Amino acid sequence: MTTMSAPATGHDDHAGPDDAATARVDVAGLSELLLGRWPDQRRRARARAGDPFYAKDESLTPTEHRERVLEQMRAMVASDDKLSWLAFPERLGGFDEPGANLACFTELVAADPSLQIKSGVQWGLFGAAILHLGTPEQQDRLLPGAMDLSVPGAFAMTETGHGSDVDSIGTTATYDPETEEFVIHTPFRGAWKDYLGNAAVHATAATVFAQLITNGVNHGVHCFYVPIRDAATMEFLPGVGGEDDGLKGGLRGIDNGRLHFTGVRVPRTDLLARYGSVAPDGTYSSSIDSPGRRFFTMLGSLVQGRVSLDGSAVTAAKLGLAIAVKYGAERRQFAGAQGEEVVLLDYATHRRRLFPRIAEAYAGHFANERLLDLFDDVFSGAQDTPERREDLETTAAALKSTSTAFALDTLQECREACGGAGFLTENRITSLRADLDVYATFEGDNTVLAQLVAKRLVADYGREVKGATRTPAGMARFVVERATSAALHRTGLRRAQQALADVGDPRRAAGHLRDAETQRELLADRVATMVEEVAQAMRPALKADPAEAARILDENQTALVEAARAHADLLRWEAFTEALATIEDTGTRLVMTWVRDVFGLTVIERNLTWYLLHGRLSDQRARTVTGYVDRLLRRLRPHVVDLVDAWGYGQEHLRAAISSGAEAERQDEARAYYQALRASGNAPVSEKALRKKEQKQR
C-alpha cells in the first residue's frame, strides 16, 4: 500500500482512452444472451406476447375483458406449441419442462397481465395443485380437464379472514366413514374463500384447502378437488355459494370471487393425497410425520407462483423503462446552451430517475435466471433435495418481494418521467402499473416474505455458530473474532485506514468503489453483519417468557425485513456479476460492467448511513459514491437505448404511442415549419430580442 497518487488518466477515472473507444452494446448478441437457458421456448413465448390477438384491449368493459381472456386461453390450448403445458407430464401430453414453462409464462405479462394471471390460476395454481399434491392416479384423472380448459378451476386457499397465515384457515373437511366422503364446510363468514381468480364466473371446479378432520383429529390443512358449478348451466352445485369480488384496481380481465361451502360432499379419493391420505375407515396416514413439515412441504410445492411473479415483475419494469427511455431520447423541453431544446435524457435528474432502474432491471433479470435454474433443478427432479428446496423457497421469497416492489416503483417513475403523456392509457404505463399492483401482495405479502427470508438467514447463522463453537477452542476463536471485528468497525479503525490510503487523492477513493471485489465485500458484509446483529439481539427471546419474546421480536422486526432486502440485493449483484463473465464482446462487457457498477453502487448509496455507522466506509470514500454514480450515468447515456433494446421487446410489445417515434416526427415538423418561416422573411421578431437590442444601443 502506498499513499502516492496514481498517475492521472484524464477526466474520466474509470474508462481510459481505449475503453471509451471500445464501449458499445452488441444489441443482437446481448439480446440472445438474455434469452437464457431456454431460448427457443422463450422466443416463441415472446412472439405470442406480441401477437395482437393476445394484446390487452383497453376499450373493453370488465365483463367483456373477462370473456376475451378466457377466449385467449382457449386459443392457447388450441395452438400447436402448447406452451401452457410445458410443466405437465409427458404421459398427459405435456413436456416435463418446469423451468422453460416459467420462462415462457414470464413473457405473457407483455400481452396482458390479466391473461398472464388467469393462465397462472388455471395451470400454475389449480393445475399445479393437482400435479404437485395429487397422486399419479389423481393426475391422470383430473389433470387433463385442467390442462385443456374443459374444467376451468379456482385455487381456493385464501380466505377473507386468513391470507398470509394459511395454517389458520377456517374451512373444514370432515371425513364421514359411512359414505367414504369428506364434508367440505365453511363455518363462518371469515372462512369464505376470497380473491380467487376464475371463481366469480368461469370455474366449474376448485382445489379447496381445508382443515382435514377424521376420527376427531385435525390433521391440518390439505387440498381437495371440489366441483363447484354445473358445466352446462354454470349454476353453483348444491351447497356451494359465492359472489363476485367486483371491480379491482387492475387485472380486470380476471373474474375474482368468493366461495363458500355448506356440507358439500366429495369422495374420499378426491383428497389430493400425495402427502396425506385417509383410509376408508378414516385412518389418516402421511409420508411426512411432522404436521408442521408436512404443511410446509405441501405449500412449498407451490413455490412456482413466486418464481414466476419475480420474472414477470422484472419484465413489466423493462417494458415501462423501454417506453420511458425511448420517449426520453426524443422528447425535448427547455432551450439549452446552444439554443436548441434539450433532450430529456440529457438532464441529470432524468438520468437519475431512469438509469439506475435500468441497472436494477438487469440485475433482476440475471437473478431470475439463476432462480429459474434452481427451480428447474428441483422440479425436474435433477437435484430435488430438502436443502435445494429450502434454498429455492428462500431465494424465491427474497426475489419476489424485491422485484414486485421494484416494478411498481419503476413503472410510477416511468409514468412521471413521461409527464402528462405518461398518464394516457394509449401510452401503456398506467395500465401496466395498475395490473402489477397486486403482485406486491399475492403469492405472499412482500413484508411477510421478507420475514421468512430473514428467519432462514438467522437460522443459518445459528447453525454456523453452533458448528463453529462446538469445541472450547472454536468457541474462543469465535469470541475473539467477533470482538476484534466489532472493535475494528465501531472505533472507526477501518475508516481511519481507508482515509490514510486515500490521502490526497479522491480518485483513489472512487477507484476503490469500482472494484468488483470491493462491491462484493461491502454488500456481503452488510448482510452477514445485519444477520449477526439481529440474531444476537434476538437471542434473549429463546429463554424469555412468551410476552417478553414477542417484545424482543417486535423490536427486531424492522431489522429482519431490512436484512432480507440486503440479502436480495446481494443475490442480484452476484447474479449480475456472474453473468458479466459470459459476455464475450469486449465493448458490451465494458458497458454492462458499468451497468453492474451502477447497480452495486446505488445499493451502497441507498445504505450509506449503515456503512458509515458500521465503520465500513470512511467519510472520504462515502463522499465519492454519489459523484461517481453520476459520472457512470453520464457515461451510460449514449448506450441506454441499446440497453433497453437488448431486452428484445419491439413496438408490438411496448404498444405505446410515445415510444413509436411519433415525438421525433412532430419535432421535425415543427423545426421545418420554423425554418421555412425564417426563410420566408415573414417571421416575427420577438419583443425580447428587440428590447435587448435597444438596451445595447443605449
- Cα 54 to Cα 62, 233, 255, 591, distances in angstroms: 16, 28, 18, 35
CA distance 542 to 559: 18
In this complex, which beta carbon is closest to its own copies, that of residue 97 or of residue 255? 255
Q: Least separation, in Å, of the C-beta of 558 and its own copies? A: 5
Residues between 652 and 671 that touch its own copies (CB under 8 A): 666-667, 669-670
Report, in Å, the least distance between residue 525 CB and its own copies: 18
Please report whether residue 531 would count as binding its own copies according to CB under 8 A.
no
User: Whose Cβ is closer to its own copies: residue 31's or residue 447's?
Assistant: 447
For residue 121, give the nearest of 172, 158, 91, 165 by alpha carbon: 158
CA dihedral over 137, 396, 49, 40, signed as positive or negative: negative
Using CB under 8 A, pick the residue from 44, 82, 141, 162 that binds its own copies: 162
* Stretch 203-242 residues interacting with its own copies (CB under 8 A): 211, 213, 216-220
Q: Does 401 bind its own copies (CB under 8 A)?
A: no
With contacts defined by CB under 8 A, name the span among 91-99, 124-132, 379-387, 418-426 that binds its own copies: 418-426
Residues pairing with 261 in the sheet? 240
Scanning residues 342 to 361, which ones bind its own copies (CB under 8 A)? Answer: 346-349, 352-353
Q: How many CB atoms lie within 10 A of CB 347?
A: 15
Secondary structure E strands in 11-162: 153-156
At its nearest, how many Å lie between its own copies and the CB of residue 492? 8
| Kind plus residue range of the DSSP H or E element containing 590 | helix 586-606
Site track for its own copies across 93-132, x = CB under 8 A: ----------------------------------------
Residues 6+ apart with CB under 8 A from 6: 505, 507, 508, 511
Q: Nearest distance from residue 637's CB to its own copies, in Å? A: 11
Amino acid at 514: R
Residue 694 in contact with its own copies, rule: CB under 8 A: no
- Only one of the segments 25-33, 525-533, 571-579, 684-692 lies at the binding site for its own copies (rule: CB under 8 A); that segment is 684-692
Residue 170 is a binding residue for its own copies (CB under 8 A): yes
In terms of Cβ atoms closer than 10 Å to its own Cβ (0-12, 13-18, 19+), residue 373 is middle
Judged by CB under 8 A, the stretch of 18-26, 31-39, 124-132, 415-423 that binds its own copies is 415-423
Given the complex with its own copies, which of 573 and 611 has the nearer CB atom? 611
Distance CA 304, CA 308 (A): 6
What is the per-residue binding string for its own copies in 438-467, x denoting contact by CB under 8 A?
Answer: x-xxx--xxx---x----------------
Residue/partner pairs of 601-610 with CB below 8 Å, 24 or more apart: 601/513, 601/519, 601/625, 601/628, 601/629, 601/632, 602/356, 602/359, 602/360, 602/629, 603/523, 603/569, 603/573, 604/513, 604/519, 604/522, 604/523, 605/629, 607/526, 607/566, 610/526
Q: How far is the CB of 474 from its own copies (least distance, A)?
A: 31
CB of 96 to its own copies, least distance (A): 33
Q: Give residue for cell 431465494.
A: 395
Q: Nearer Cβ to its own copies, position 30 or 658?
A: 658
The answer to whether residue 283 forms part of the interface with its own copies (CB under 8 A) is no
Which of 2/682 has CB closer to its own copies? 682
Lookup: cell for 309: 411473479
- In sequence order, the β-bridge partners of residue 43 are none
Rounded-to-integer distance, Cα 90 and Cα 265, Å: 32
Give yes or no for residue 135 binding its own copies (CB under 8 A).
no
CA gap 205, 145 in Å, rounded: 10
Q: How far is the CB of 275 from its own copies (least distance, A)?
A: 13
- Interaction between residue 201 and its own copies (CB under 8 A): no
CA distance 657 to 60: 19
Rounded least distance, CB 627 to its own copies, Å:
9
467-526 residues in contact with its own copies (CB under 8 A) are 492
Phi, psi of 499, deg, nearest 5: -60, -45
| Shortest spacing between CB 669 and its own copies, in angstroms | 5
Binding to its own copies by CB under 8 A, coded x per residue (else -) over 532-551, reads --------------xx-xx-
Query: Where in 1-60 is the site for its own copies (CB under 8 A)?
Result: 58-59
Which residues, numbered 611-650, are part of the site for its own copies (CB under 8 A)? 612-613, 619, 622-623, 630
Q: Which is nearer to its own copies, 90 or 281 (CB)?
A: 281
Pick out residues in 248-277 that bind its own copies (CB under 8 A).
248-250
How do strand 205-214 and strand 217-227 relate by DSSP bridges?
A: antiparallel
* E strand or H helix that includes residue 417: helix 386-417
* Cα-based distances in Å from 572 to 314, 509, 698: 12, 24, 65
- For the segment 557-586, give every residue that binds its own copies (CB under 8 A): 557-558, 561
